[in-house]
Amino acid sequence: MTEHSPSALPAFRVAPSVAPTTNTHLEIAGVTKNFGSQSVLKGVDLSVAKGGTTAIVGPSGSGKTTLLRLIAGFEHPDTGSISLSGFPVAGNGVWIPAHKRHVGYVAQDGALFPHLTVGQNIAFGLNAGKIDGGRRAVNARVSDLLEMVSLDAAMAKRRPHQLSGGQQQRVALARALAREPELMLLDEPFSALDAGLRVATRRAVAKVLSEAGVTTILVTHDQAEALSFADQVAIMRAGKLAQIGNPFVVYTRPADRATAEFLGDAVILDAWMEGSLATCSLGGVPVRRPPAQGRVQLMLRPEQIRIAPDGPIRGVVVDTDYFGPETTVRIKLAESNAPHRAASGNGHRYPGGGEVITIRHWNASITKPGTELCLRVVGEGVAFPQEREHGQE
Amino acid sequence: MSLLAVLIALFSLVPLGYVAYMTVATGWDTAVELIFRPRVGELLLNTVMLTVITVPLCLVLGAGGAWLVERTTLRGHRWWAVALAAPLAIPAFVNSYSWVSAVPSLEGIWSGVLIATLSYFPLVYIPAAAALGRLDPAIEQSAASLGLGSWAVFFRVVLPQLRIALTGGALLVSLHLLAEYGAFAMIRFDTFTTAIMVQFQSTFNGTAGNMLASVLVFLCLILLLAEVKSRGTARYARIGSGAPAKATRLPLRHYQLPAQLSLAAVTVLAFGVPVWFVLRWLIAGGSEVWAADEFLPALLQTLMYGAVGAAVTIVVAFPMAYLAVRRPSGFSKLLELSNYVTSSLPGIVVGLAFVTVTIRAVPGIYQTAGVLVAAYVLLFLPRALVNLRSGLAQAPKELDEAAQSLGKAPLTSFVRVTLRLTAPAAAGGAALVFLAIVNELTATLLLSPNGTRTLATEFWSKSSEIDYSGAAPYALLMILLSAPMTYLLFQQSKKVAGQ
């Protein structure tokens, strides 16, 4: 399953509906949805730019798939509105059903029609009677689409069950692309694939979609997938979007602790914030735009904490997990690190001390349990206001 | 869809409503007088004894056979797997007819037990075999690794997992025992059903017959409740994903010969004897029993009723199956339950109800083909439902949505995706309903328009006149028509079980 660039891209026609407003393709405003007594979406606002890729990421049950189904038109929102290219499609008494929205949709398992061949699946949305050249043109289009998703044209004769999972997903994508949708919705399309195939398929799909210039929304529970796929990531938690931003920003400057921990491993330490410097067991760490002064929680990514012979911070290795290319190292920080603040006599003492933190390192041989290490912090930390009940890493 | 399903459910409650109404209308004193009398006690004893003896025998034959076929190194187990299901192709009253020809003195409860066991044990065997084939051997291997021997594994792990299949099979056998008319009438063994038929033939629509029907319905409801209770709420499903491993077969070693002999004996008694005697009477009758002017109309009418009944049943079952699969709720369960209860009622009760209701409410349609087809629909709806449900499960709503996101209007996508994908299952269900109608005797006797001749009623009238040779061609045809359907049913049970 190698990926080579599609040689002949069919010309994608410009969407007939030119947005009266600017560059916004999808606009979701104040959307709520209940299933029975269960409130699944509690007021979601999201706007997606034309041609952009947005990933909606969140734990299972957070409502992300429901949001996607509302955009596709499979469900009605209870309140709020959805508009595509400036035209309302749902909410405020408007309802455009799924088949009139011109929105492509690729389901988790591909949802290929088992009674049709691959070619018939791809041609399902095409109407031979309305296309110049009839059957022949449809067949040519099917071949083009197969080529676009890097599948052999001979596959058109196969049945869905004769394909691998990755191939099925590509066919589902080709089928959705056949009608040249302006907006493509992907509902965890890679989650059923095994790890290696998942990455390859994801890259192939991203490439096809960006070359076709289709606005794409991906729903996933895999934060690495979201960060690598999209140029806008929306983190969904308990029916609300906790943060929306580009992948680098949401990863390095998460809005709250839960988002920080969802997007990746995080080292969280009690700290004392003064100006833009947070003091903690790892010494003074700069923080951009701190939300509070005094006691805060400081978040660092494990890769920001490096083992360095000249590092100012001391810690003792507690235990390690060896993974081959890297080793997870648990380090107990010294009780008496960075005492200068307490000694400076201005009445404040930095909180914490003696915490156990988890970092990653490539060299297992220098991280034997009991070894004392010197550490250094690279870059900025993120401060969160102190929580009532504080749990530590 | 919902409205249709409700209407159908209400319609299916007609027989139950009739019985309840009759019991109330009769008045308490008369009802007590008619129900608590020695004759009813005698019938009750007969029916209960028959059930109590036959059901365990069927369980032993069915579960034992299934275990031998599925889980031991039985030689030719593929062949035996089909052979043990084959007796289902022989209607019980044909079985009875053959046994009466073999042993003319057959009478009373033990002959009833013999014929019922041989006719109905496949109803236990088929689900048991399907369940055994589906059981995850990893569970048994875990039990073995926890120190249980082969027998302990069977009794403590395998048998409990078969519980749903076995209680379901036992319920089916019991309901058949309560409902069967022909097989027991032929050996002059009186059950509630035969007694109701006698009452109906002598007094047409007498109160006594109606009260017997009430008791019979009461027994059916008790059985349904008992099955629900004993099935419990536990689910036996494989946990986790991945393909289940192949089960290991227990070596039979020196039990191979006894196993082969006992299976051969069962097959000969349940399948060989009936077929042999049908053929013997056929040969004895020579060519004149094939009189085309009697025979062909009966065949054509049977095929016609079967085809129409099957088609109508599928159409009627679809809204219910659709609701149950796509919008499962307490409401859809209630709808299904009402059908389930009705179809558990003996054909004679449904027949009586339709006779009474049509005569009182709409005399114009009494003894018309439409009423008979309606009765068939009520009796055999669950067979279609089971199939349609599994068929609809093959057409998840995601496919429908995919079609809609590809620009197809909801109705178009419903026809091109959901209906299309359900078609094979619908055909399977229709075939099963067809088979049931071909062999239906009791309700047909009560409801068929004057001059109607089906294979079953013709067979019945000939053999009642002791014209055994004349009855033989009809018996043979019923067996031949049933055979492919039985095979289909057998295959399907494997598929539903996920093989």
State which of A226, A252, A278 marks the end of a domain.
A252
SS (H, E, C) B16-43: HHHHHHHHHHHCHHHHHHHHCCHHHHHH
Q: In this model, does residue A8 exceed pLDDT 60? A: no
The last residue of a domain, from among A192, A217, A252? A252
Burial class of residue B341 (count of CB atoms within 10 Å of its CB; 0-12, 13-18, 19+): middle
| Cβ pairs A/B, distance under 8 A | 61
Considering the domain boundaries, does residue A259 fall inside one? Answer: no
Look up the domain containing A98 and give its range. Answer: 24-252
Rounded CA-CA distance B34/B210 in Å is 10
CA pair distance A134, A112, nearest whole angstrom? 23
**pTM across the whole model:** 0.75
**What's the number of domains chain A is made of?**
2
Cα(B358)–Cα(B271) distance, integer angstroms: 40
Instruction: Decide: A51 and A213 in contact? Cβ < 8 Å.
Output: yes
The SS3 assignment for A327 reads: strand
d(CA B394, CA B400): 12
Nearest CA in chain B to A175: B406
Q: Which residue of B has its CA nearest to A109?
A: B398
Does A124 touch chain B if contact means CB atoms closer than 8 Å? Answer: yes
For A111, the closest of B394, B398, B407 (CB atoms) is B398
> Cβ(B417)–Cβ(A99) under 8 Å?
no
CA angle B338, B339, B344 (to 5 degrees): 105
Contact predicate A121/A186, CB 8 Å: no
Q: Which domain holds residue B159?
A: 37-285
A219 lies in the same domain as A306: no
Residue of B nearest to A123 (CA): B406
The C-alpha of A219 sits at a distance from chain B's nearest C-alpha, in angstroms, of 16
Here the tokens at position A282 are 């790892």
Q: Which B positions 376-395 lie with beta carbon below 8 A of chain A? A: 394
A113 near B CB under 8 A? yes
Instruction: Collect contacts of B298-301 with beta carbons under 8 A, ≥24 apart.
Output: B298/B453, B298/B454, B298/B455, B298/B457, B298/B458, B298/B474, B299/B455, B299/B477, B301/B452, B301/B453, B301/B454
Q: What pLDDT score does B270 carry? A: 93
DSSP 8-state secondary structure symbol assigned to residue A20: S
Give contacts of B407 with chain A, Cβ < 8 Å: 99-100, 102, 125, 179
- Residues paired with A106 in a beta bridge: A186
Compute the average pLDDT of residues A128-154: 84
Residue B16 placed within a domain? no
Instruction: Verify that A108 and A67 share a domain, yes or no.
Output: yes
> Hey, CA dihedral for A292, A297, A303, A306, is it positive or negative?
positive
Residue B401 lies in a domain: no
Kindly state whether A141 is in contact with chain B, defined as any CB-CB distance less than 8 angstroms.
no
What pLDDT score was predicted for residue B257?
Answer: 92
Mutating which of A75, A101, A108, A124 best tests the B interface, going by the most B Cβ atoms within 10 A?
A: A124
Apex CA B97: angle with CA B93 and CA B99, to 5°? 115
Question: A341 and A200, same structural domain?
Answer: no
Q: Does residue B192 lie in a domain region? A: yes
**CATH number of the CATH domain containing B176:** 1.10.3720.10
Q: At what angle do helices B38-71 and B108-120 cross, to 10 degrees?
A: 40
Of the partner residues B399, B407, B421, the one whose CB lies closest to the CB of residue A125: B407
Say whether residue A115 is in contact with chain B using an 8 A CB cutoff.
Answer: yes
Residues A59 and A205 in one domain: yes
Positive/negative CA dihedral, A252, A255, A260, A264:
negative
Residue of A251, A261, A229, A236 whose CA lies nearest to A45: A236
E runs forming strands in A36-156: 38-49, 53-57, 79-84, 87-91, 94-95, 103-106
Q: B403 at the A interface (CB within 8 A)? A: yes
Question: Mean of the per-residue pLDDT values for chain A?
Answer: 84
Count H helices and E strands in chain B, helices first: 27, 0
- Cβ–Cβ < 8 Å for A297, A389: no
pLDDT at A26 over 70: yes
The alpha-helical segments, DSSP class H, found in chain A are: 64-72, 118-123, 134-148, 165-177, 195-212, 223-229, 247-252, 257-263, 340-343
Q: State how far the Cα of B464 lies from the Cα of B91, in Å rounded to an integer.
A: 16
> Domain for residue B250, yes or no?
yes
SS3 of residue A323 by DSSP: coil
Question: Which residues of chain A does B404 touch, with a Cβ-Cβ cutoff of 8 Å?
Answer: 73-74, 97-99
- Mutation site for A-interface testing, chosen from B405, B408, B422 by largest number of A Cβ within 10 Å: B405
Q: Quick check: A104 contacting B, CB < 8 Å?
A: yes
pLDDT in tens, chain B (499 residues): 778 888 888 888 888 888 888 888 877 788 787 778 888 888 899 999 999 999 999 999 999 999 899 888 889 988 998 899 889 889 999 999 999 988 888 888 899 999 999 999 998 998 888 888 777 777 777 777 887 777 788 788 888 888 878 888 888 899 899 988 989 998 889 988 888 888 888 876 667 778 888 888 888 888 888 877 776 655 454 444 444 556 677 788 888 899 999 999 999 999 999 999 999 998 888 777 777 677 888 899 999 999 999 999 999 989 888 888 888 777 777 777 777 787 778 888 888 888 888 888 888 787 788 899 999 998 888 878 878 887 887 788 889 899 998 988 889 999 888 888 888 888 888 888 888 898 889 889 888 888 888 899 989 998 888 888 888 889 999 999 888 888 877 877 766 544 3
B241 part of contact set with chain A, CB < 8 Å: no
Calculate the dihedral angle through the C-alpha atoms of B313, B315, B320, B323, rounding to the nearest 10 degrees.
160
Which range is least confidently modeled, A40-49, A110-119, A200-209, B134-143? B134-143
Residue A320: strand pairing partners = A329
Q: For residues B383 and B432, is the Cβ–Cβ distance under 8 A?
A: yes
Segment A104-122 mean pLDDT: 89
- What is the per-residue pLDDT for A119? 92
Residue A172: its chain B contacts at CB < 8 A?
402
What are the φ/ψ torsions at residue A231 (nearest 5 degrees)? Answer: -100, 0
Q: Confirm or reject contact between B420 and chain A (CB < 8 A).
A: yes
Asked if A115's CB is within 8 angstroms of B406's CB, the reply is no
Q: A189 in a domain, yes or no?
A: yes
On whether residue B276 sits in a domain, the answer given is yes
The verdict on A92 and A222 lying in the same domain is yes
Q: Which residues pair with A87 in a beta bridge?
A: A84
CA-CA distance, B24 to B26, in Å (whole number)?
5
How many whole angstroms separate alpha carbon A105 and alpha carbon A70?
12
Residues of chain B contacting residue A186, judged by C-beta atoms under 8 Å apart? none
Chain B residue nearest residue A176, CA to CA? B406
Cα distances (angstroms) measured from residue A369 to each of A281, A318, A323: 20, 5, 16
Instruction: Single out the residue of A301, A302, A292 nearest to residue A386, CA to CA.
Output: A292
Compare all CA atoms of chain A with the CA of B399 and give the residue at the minimum distance: A111
pLDDT digits (tens, 9 = 90+) for A333-391: 887 544 444 444 444 556 667 889 999 888 878 888 888 889 999 999 999 998 654 44
Last residue of a domain, one of A229, A252, A275: A252
Question: What single DSSP character describes residue B237?
Answer: -
Is A71 an interface residue toward B (CB < 8 Å)? Answer: no
Asked if A161 has any chain B CB less than 8 Å from its own CB, the reply is no
| pLDDT of res. B262 | 94
Cβ neighbours for A96, distance < 8 A, ≥ 6 positions apart? A73, A89, A90
Side-chain-side CA neighbours of A370 within 13 Å: the count stands at 0
| Residue contact B406–A103, C-beta within 8 A | no
**Beta partners for residue A285, in sequence order:** A278
Does B424 reside within a domain? no
ipTM of this complex: 0.73
Both structure tokens of A116: 């049709």
Instruction: Kindly state whether residue B173 falls inside one of the protein's structural domains.
Output: yes
Rounded to the nearest angstrom, the minimum Cα separation between B373 and chain A is 33
- In this structure, are A147 and A75 located in the same domain? yes
What are the structure tokens assigned to A167, written together?
């191939």
- CB within 8 A of B371, min separation 6: which ones? B354, B358, B365, B447
B3 touching chain A per CB within 8 A: no
Contacts of B421 in chain A (CB under 8 A): 113-115
d(CA A315, CA A308): 12
Residue of B401, B420, B421 with shortest CB distance to A98: B401
Q: Which residue of A has its CA nearest to B407?
A: A99
The answer to whether residues A109 and A216 belong to one domain is yes
Q: Does A125 touch chain B (CB under 8 A)?
A: yes
Check B405 against A72: CB less than 8 A apart.
yes
Same domain, A237 and A278: no
Query: How many other C-beta atoms lie within 10 A of the C-beta of residue B213?
Result: 28
Instruction: Give φ, ψ of A96 to 5 degrees.
Output: -105, 120
The answer to whether B359 contacts chain A (CB < 8 Å) is: no
Contact present, B130 and B62 (Cβ < 8 Å): no
Contact between residue B84 and residue B263 where contact means Cβ atoms under 8 Å apart: yes
Q: Which residue of B has its CA nearest to A180?
A: B406
B405 and A114 within 8 Å at the Cβ level: the answer is no
Question: B442 near B282, Cβ under 8 Å?
Answer: no
| Helix ranges restricted to H, B86-136 | 92-102, 108-120, 122-134
Shortest alpha-carbon distance between residue A311 and chain B (Å): 48
Q: Is residue A95 part of a domain?
A: yes
Contacts of A74 in chain B (CB under 8 A): 401, 404
Query: Of the candidates B403, B405, B408, which has its C-beta nearest A103's C-beta?
Result: B405
| Domain count along chain B | 1
- Chain B contact for A103, CB < 8 A? yes
Q: Which of B394, B405, B417 sits opposite A105 (nearest CB)?
A: B405
What does the block give as tokens for B143?
Answer: 């039990």
Q: Is residue A75 part of a domain?
A: yes
Which residues of chain A neighbour B398 with C-beta distances below 8 Å? Answer: 107, 109, 111
Within a domain: residue A311?
A: yes
Does A126 share its domain with A150?
yes
User: Which residues touch A4 (CB under 8 Å, ≥6 apart)?
Assistant: A150
Q: Is residue B356 part of a domain?
A: no
* Same domain as A239, residue A286: no
Q: Which residue of A has its CA nearest to B422?
A: A115
Contact B402 A72 (CB under 8 A): no
Mutation to test the B interface, candidates A74, A99, A120, A186, most B Cβ within 10 Å: A99
Buried b (16+ CB within 10 A) or exposed e, B222-249: ebbeebeeeeeeeeeeeeeeeebeebee
Give the residue-averaged pLDDT of A53-70: 92
Distance separating alpha carbons of residues A369 and A76, to the nearest angstrom: 57
H and E: helices and strands count for chain A:
9, 21
Residue A179 shares a structural domain with residue A285: no
Give the relative orientation of helices B273-285 and B92-102 as an angle to the nearest 10 degrees.
Answer: 70
Whether B455 and B477 have beta carbons less than 8 Å apart is answered as yes
Q: Which residues, in sequence order, are CB contacts of A331 under 8 Å at separation 6+? A: A315, A316, A317, A318, A356, A357, A358, A359, A373, A375
Which of B401, B407, B421 lies nearest to residue A179, judging by beta carbons?
B407
Rounded CA-CA distance A317/A198 in Å is 35
Contact call for residues B169 and B28 (beta carbons, < 8 A): no
What is the per-residue pLDDT for A16? 41
Which of A247, A246, A243, A204 lies closest to A223, judged by CA?
A247
Judged by CB atoms closer than 8 Å, whether chains meet at A179 and B421 is answered as no
Please give the structure tokens belonging to residue A145: 């689409």
Mutation for A interface: B401, B406, B417, B422, most A CBs within 10 A: B406
Same domain, A309 and A213: no
Contacts of A103 in chain B (CB under 8 A): 405
Is residue A161 exposed (0-12), middle (13-18) or buried (19+ Cβ within 10 Å)? exposed
Asked if the Cβ–Cβ distance from A97 to B404 is below 8 Å, we say yes
Query: CB B394 to CB A114 under 8 A?
Result: yes
Q: Which residue of A has its CA nearest to B405?
A: A99
Are A277 and A348 within 8 A, CB to CB?
no
